[in-house]
């Protein structure tokens, strides 16, 4: 039986007294006392449901809404008076984040399985006015004193702010605060994944290690604030010069590492390397000054120069130092006997 909407409900104890009248003496007093205690307990339970921050919604076995607490009214956009007796699909609209497909009704699933079920983490509640909220929830069957299922109840909460905070923290942990590029931590996992993909597809992979020439001198002359602006400008030029599949990260200081997945040949990687050097070379306007900068670049290849991320980065780093010894704006491919000594 559907519960009457909050503002129209008549207290059951008053209904009982109106229909039956006052019972006499001892039996009547005991019955009235028991009824009063029972309804007091129900009122306390309802007050609790109205007070908690989580949304609570229930249905009967036919899937029609029997109850919403205040939090559920706020999250769905439906008042209890409007929702009571409505099919659940009209009141509770949940879709999956990626596909936007409508999620399976969790309450009917709880009834069918006869146990508590949990919503997947990628579900979004679409409010009556179209606003969306990321939620988590659990739904359970409601049983009477004989153990028979009479309906279902769902408890859900808004987790959008918490998830956004978690995503922001994860982003900050893997991205450089100055340039916004992925950092060294991100590079290690991304490059390992790219190597695995290259191995499965039997295609080469390139790792570019790039270092700005004379950056320390510029930083000392112009100041750290100007140096930071220059690094941001270089990061933007590198990003613009790459393919969509390529990934650039800030390795540290004025060093950048670029992952070139699925290249066709070493000459292709060399072409990309030359393109990056050309993109960086030239003048930058920093604090009303024109600043000219160049870079040195080293390139290693999978599987020719290594089979793991650390080896490929080290080989590209050594090749970059070989390029730097040849003068600003140079490029070198890794070799077996290179080391990082600058002589």
254 noted as active-site residue: yes
More confident residue, 11 or 267: 267
- Residue 109 φ then ψ, to 5°: -65, -40
Average pLDDT of the segment spanning 305-315 = 95
Domain boundary among 127, 144, 164: 164
| Alpha carbons 69 and 73: distance in angstroms, whole number | 6
For the cut 90, the answer to whether the pLDDT of residue 277 exceeds it is: yes
Average pLDDT of the segment spanning 98-105 = 84
Judgement on whether residues 301 and 208 belong to the same structural domain of the protein: yes
Judgement on whether residues 204 and 100 belong to the same structural domain of the protein: no
Judgement on whether residues 283 and 325 belong to the same structural domain of the protein: yes
Residue 339 lies in a domain: no
| Alpha carbons 252 and 183: distance in angstroms, whole number | 8
**Residue 15, pLDDT score:** 34
For the cut 70, the answer to whether the pLDDT of residue 72 exceeds it is: yes
SS3 state at 299 = strand
Residue 133 lies in a domain: yes
Share the mean pLDDT of the chain: 83
Judgement on whether residues 100 and 129 belong to the same structural domain of the protein: yes
More confident residue, 50 or 9: 50
**Residue 142, pLDDT score:** 93
Confidence of residue 128 (pLDDT cuts 50, 70, 90): very high
For the cut 50, the answer to whether the pLDDT of residue 193 exceeds it is: yes
Judgement on whether residues 204 and 286 belong to the same structural domain of the protein: yes
**Residue 207, pLDDT score:** 95
| pLDDT tens column, 132-176 | 988 888 899 999 988 899 999 999 988 877 777 777 888 778 889
- The residue among 112, 162, 102, 99 whose CA lies nearest residue 139 is 112
More confident residue, 10 or 176: 176
Residue 342 lies in a domain: no
Average pLDDT of the segment spanning 19-42 = 56
Judgement on whether residues 150 and 194 belong to the same structural domain of the protein: no
**Residue 3, pLDDT score:** 45
**Residue 42, pLDDT score:** 57
**Bond before 303 cis per omega within 30 degrees:** yes
Judgement on whether residues 229 and 210 belong to the same structural domain of the protein: yes
Provide the domain count of the chain.
2
Judgement on whether residues 148 and 183 belong to the same structural domain of the protein: no
Catalytic residue among 254, 287, 308, 317: 254
The boundaries of the domain holding residue 190 are: 174-333
Domain boundary among 112, 132, 164: 164
Cα-based distances in Å from 291 to 153, 230, 253, 274, 295: 66, 9, 18, 21, 13
Domain boundary among 119, 139, 164: 164
Tokens of 100: 């936007």
| pLDDT tens column, 206-228 | 999 999 998 988 888 888 899 99
Per 3-state DSSP, the chain is made up of helix, strand and coil in percentages (nearest 5) of: 45, 25, 30
Share of the chain above pLDDT 70, in %: 83
Q: How wide is the angle at C-alpha 265 spanned by C-alphas 296 and 250, nearest 5°? A: 35
Residue with tokens 């080293």: 298
CATH label of the domain that carries residue 88: 3.30.450.20
Tokens of 332: 């070198």
Q: At what angle do helices 224-241 and 266-280 cross, to 10 degrees?
A: 140
């Amino acid at each position: 039986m559907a519960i009457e909407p909050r503002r129209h409900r008549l207290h059951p104890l008053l209904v009982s007294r109106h229909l039956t009248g006052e019972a006499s003496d001892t039996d009547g007093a005991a019955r009235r006392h028991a009824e009063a205690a029972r309804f007091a307990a129900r009122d306390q339970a309802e007050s609790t449901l109205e007070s908690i921050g989580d949304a609570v919604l229930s249905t009967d076995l036919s899937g029609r809404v029997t109850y919403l607490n205040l939090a559920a009214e706020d999250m769905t956009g439906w008042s209890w008076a409007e929702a009571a007796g409505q099919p659940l699909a009209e009141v509770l609209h949940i879709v999956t984040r990626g596909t936007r497909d409508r999620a399976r009704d969790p309450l009917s699933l709880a009834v069918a399985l006869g146990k508590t079920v949990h919503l997947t983490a990628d579900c979004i509640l679409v409010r009556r006015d179209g606003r969306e909220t990321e939620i988590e929830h659990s739904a359970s069957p409601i049983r009477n004193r004989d153990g028979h299922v009479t309906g279902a109840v769902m408890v859900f909460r808004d987790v959008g702010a918490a998830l956004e905070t978690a995503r922001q923290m994860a982003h900050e942990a893997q991205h450089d605060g100055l340039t916004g590029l992925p950092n060294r931590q991100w590079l290690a996992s991304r490059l390992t994944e790219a190597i695995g993909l290259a191995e499965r597809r039997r295609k080469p992979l390139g790792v570019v290690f790039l270092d700005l020439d004379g950056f320390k001198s510029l930083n000392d002359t112009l100041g750290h604030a100007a140096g930071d602006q220059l690094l941001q400008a270089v990061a933007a030029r590198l990003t613009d010069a790459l393919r969509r599949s390529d990934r650039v990260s800030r390795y540290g200081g004025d060093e950048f590492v670029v992952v070139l997945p699925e290249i066709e040949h070493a000459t292709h990687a060399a072409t990309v390397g030359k393109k990056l050097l050309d993109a960086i070379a030239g003048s930058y306007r920093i604090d009303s000054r024109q600043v000219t900068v160049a870079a040195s670049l080293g390139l290693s290849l999978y599987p020719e120069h290594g089979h793991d991320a650390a080896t490929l980065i080290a080989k590209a780093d050594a090749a970059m130092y070989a390029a730097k010894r040849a003068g600003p704006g140079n490029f070198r491919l890794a070799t077996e006997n290179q080391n990082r000594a600058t002589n």
